[in-house]
Structure 1
């Protein structure tokens, strides 16, 4: 992408995609919660992502032929790895965790993703600013508070699973901007969802999950349809595009908007209980994330730095 194209189109496209990720992904926690009422978590995710991949891939072939999918094995492998990390391990474990904890609490703990991204930067010797490090410490203090108290009858299994899911999602997000990926973001999304969905199917069946179509409620089918059409096709594709076209520090801001949307929807739609402890712990996490993101954004105001982040 040329500098002129980036200057003229990027702001509108980036903020439009961010708005989609902000709202849509905040609502997917509730969608997952309703879908798994009568569906096994891993297999419901497999249905979601494989269906979305076939729809998106089919649409792309109709519009542009097979050209977007003419990728090298290295690019295919990169997209496959990211799909396994983001969807099989990341999203799949979120669904498993929501069998044990509320969708709002799950979303608040997933808000730790930007904090992990800073930790990974430290691992590769990319030293962050002092305020960024402070934000990480504050954020993880909030994660610890929620994990240890939760303000409710906390299911330790659910807490551990959601934290593993957050870590996996963070690794996938970190690697996606640093390894070979298909040039077309929609082709990349298709491969990621297809491989991630297949991984969910294999994992679910190996763990003994079985799909009884007669036992699935209309409410769960409706939630799955929403997750396929809106959560995956619209939301995940927007996120994939953002990872390749916007600073990761800006993309990560979804993590402190999604929990607010998720908590509100959980309370309004399925009457989830939100205690003062959950609000306090969640607020600490969001303060830490906000400190990280705002500090990182200021550190990347120079054009050269922004260009390096966008093209990584």
Structure 2
């Protein structure tokens, strides 16, 4: 029994580490990768290879093939989350949006998720809506900083990426997706094909062979940023409260900002540091609000 508990605790710590630090580091690694890869091409190869490897692994383990309906659902979510969500972030970093700033912008996803939840009649607390309002102030402040004021298109792309990821996340709970990790494999496969096709149609070409750091960055994104981190996220969703599983949203930007400053020479102005603090506070309020609101409903329902 003690050995089982120790193993469960080890898996929990490893999964949280994967989400906090691996996903947080992907913004910095993307910045390295796009120095020698075309952005859509790199994102496409990342998800296509990760999807193929994970799909083959699951088939060898005896996992059932998705039905046509499940493929369609996984394809739509893969396009919204990975092709549009991550694809636009990759393009924005290729346009010289600092990796730390990109991570701070993407941290607003829980705020947009809260807004989209109203489309399906999900009730939200005042504390959660307060978090959304505070988050919007943070976004406005961030866009007045030096890193985005001179790159409005990059800012718009990351904002669209966040909105797409949030909408896809909410919509996914209403669709019939493949079971377990097969959902992630199918989503990555479809997203990879869409990204590679878009890369070809937009005329992306490699002007020269990617550098060693470019190949290493792509390998890191395939193995750790896609397969390992997504597996960890799925494990956490099954074993801990959603508030813990989604806590990466306010840890990732801190990790990304520190890596960008420490290894890429990036910097944040005082206004951008303030915006970072405001957005993280807003995400904390939304996360805390969901937990408190759900708990209050449960306590009310059991009263005689």
Q: Tell me which residue corresponds to 2:194.
A: 199
Task: Structure 1: give runs of 5+ residues left out of the alignment.
Answer: 1-8, 306-312
Q: Could you tell me the TM-score, scaled by structure 1's length? A: 0.86
Shift of 1:260: 0.3
Q: Corresponding residue for 1:251?
A: 245
Separation (CA, whole Å) in 1 of partners of 2:72 and 2:81 = 14
Q: Contact 1:21 / 1:239 at 8 angstroms: preserved in 2?
A: yes
Kindly indicate whether residue 282 of structure 2 is the aligned counterpart of residue 288 of structure 1: yes
Query: For residues 32-55 of structure 1, what are the alpha-carbon distances to aligned partners after superposition, in whole Å with 9 as ceiling and x for unaligned?
Result: 100000110000011111111122
TM-score by length of 2: 0.89
Give the equivalent residue in structure 2 for 1:87: 82
Among 49, 66, 74, the alignment partner of 2:69 is 74
- Counterparts of 1:269 and 1:195, CA distance in 2: 33
| Aligned residue among 229, 236, 239 for 2:233 | 239
What is the alpha-carbon distance in structure 2 between the residues aligned to residue 207 and residue 244 of structure 1? 40
1:78–1:205: structure 2 CA closer, same or farther, 3 Å change rule? same
Is 2:154 the counterpart of 1:142? no
Pair 1:228 & 2:222 matched: yes
- 2: CA distance between counterparts of 1:298 and 1:10? 26
**Alignment RMSD:** 2.5
Q: Residue 250 of structure 1: CA displacement?
A: 4.0
| Aligned residue in 2 for 1:39 | 37
> Which aligned pairs between 1:287-306 and structure 2 lie closer than 5 A?
287-301=281-295
Shift of 1:179: 1.1
1:272 to 261, 266, 272: 266
Per-residue deviation, 1:86: 0.9
1-structure distance, mates of 2:76, 2:12: 25
Q: Give me the whole-angstrom Cα distance separating, in 1, the residues matched to 2:293 and 2:9.
A: 18
Instruction: Deviation per CA, 1:125-174: give whole Å up to 9, x if none.
Output: 22211111101100111011112334665300110000001111111211
Match of 1:170 in 2: 166
Distance between the aligned counterparts of 1:69 and 1:202, measured in 2?
Answer: 28
Distance 1:303 1:23, change over 3 A: farther
Q: CA deviation at 1:243?
A: 5.2
- Contiguous gaps of at least 5 residues in structure 2: 1-6, 300-304
Spell out, residue by residue over 1:75-134, the C-alpha distance to the aligned partner (whole angstroms, 9 max, x if none).
221111111111110000000011231000000000000001110122222221111110
Identify the residue that residue 114 of structure 1 maps to in structure 2: 110
| CA–CA separation in structure 2 for the residues paired with 1:108 and 1:132 | 19
